[in-house]
Amino acid sequence: MFGLFGKSSSPERIGPGPFGRFVLQELVASGGMADIWLATDSHNRAHAMRLMLPEFAEDRAARKRFEHGCEVLASVQSHPNVIGYFEHGKIEGQMFCLMEYVEGANLKELFARHDPVMTENVAQIILDMAEGLEHIHESGFIHLDFKPENVLVSRNASVRVVDFDLAQPLAEAPIKLTKNPGTPAYMPPEQLRGDPIDQRADVFAFGVAAYELLTNAKPFPGDDVNEILQGQLDRAQFLTPRQLNPDIPVGLERAILKCIENDPNKRYPFMSVLVRDLKAALYL
């Protein structure tokens, strides 16, 4: 459900049943560093509980990353398009983050099965993704891992941006990352090259995700970083969104193309300007 990362080894993962003052009901997602459980409290209220896997308990970098993601999530509350946060800490020695439970799936899953929730609400989903990112930036952070796997959509098409483990504070000038984790297909050229980045990296990632949702293709496909970067820079095989899907409104295509400009100075400087153009293009 939450598109996290996955790896399993001993010691064994926790199973369903009592866990501190909660009861773990059902494992709803598994990833490399954490599991996501449907958990209920003493009032039988449902929550999503993210539990760090026990094999990472002695990994200082993993613990720091997990806690960082929790702290950023707490800092970007409250917005209808960002997953709700309640608390984080340790229970029975295991790091956890208690979040809003949303019954649904991530956009990658919905996209893969052509789910009507996505296909019938794609315009509103695109706008909600943009407004979620706008709020994150206005709260002082860059997401830095924005992609369909990190966009949760409920059964009534309500959007939540999730997974803030890689987020960084929004600085006055572009920052150079000491490490460059993330998903290359959604990174702009300056990030793939290891150059300084700012919020316009998220603008680019949003444009790639919107392009993909509307065309069933990635704008810059590739099997590795070099191939993706080369596709971004020469654009010899690049097709505009309307070449693949003529039903896309002209104004929406124009906005997406502006998001995925190679030169960050030619992209939208702020998500708020993009949101304005999306509303005009989509009549929302």
Residue linked to tokens 């990190």: 150
Q: At what angle do helices 250-259 and 271-282 cross, to 10 degrees?
A: 160
Q: Does the annotation count 115 as an active-site position?
A: no
Q: Are 1 and 152 in contact (CB under 8 A)?
A: yes
Residue 131 CA to residue 101 CA, distance in Å, equals: 20
Q: Are 231 and 238 in contact (CB under 8 A)?
A: yes
Among 145, 163, 165, 202, the one annotated catalytic: 145
Q: At what angle do helices 200-215 and 271-282 cross, to 10 degrees?
A: 30
Phi then psi for 261, rounded to 5 degrees? -60, 140
Phi then psi for 240, rounded to 5 degrees? -70, 155
Residue 124 CA to residue 220 CA, distance in Å, equals: 24
Residues with catalytic function: 145
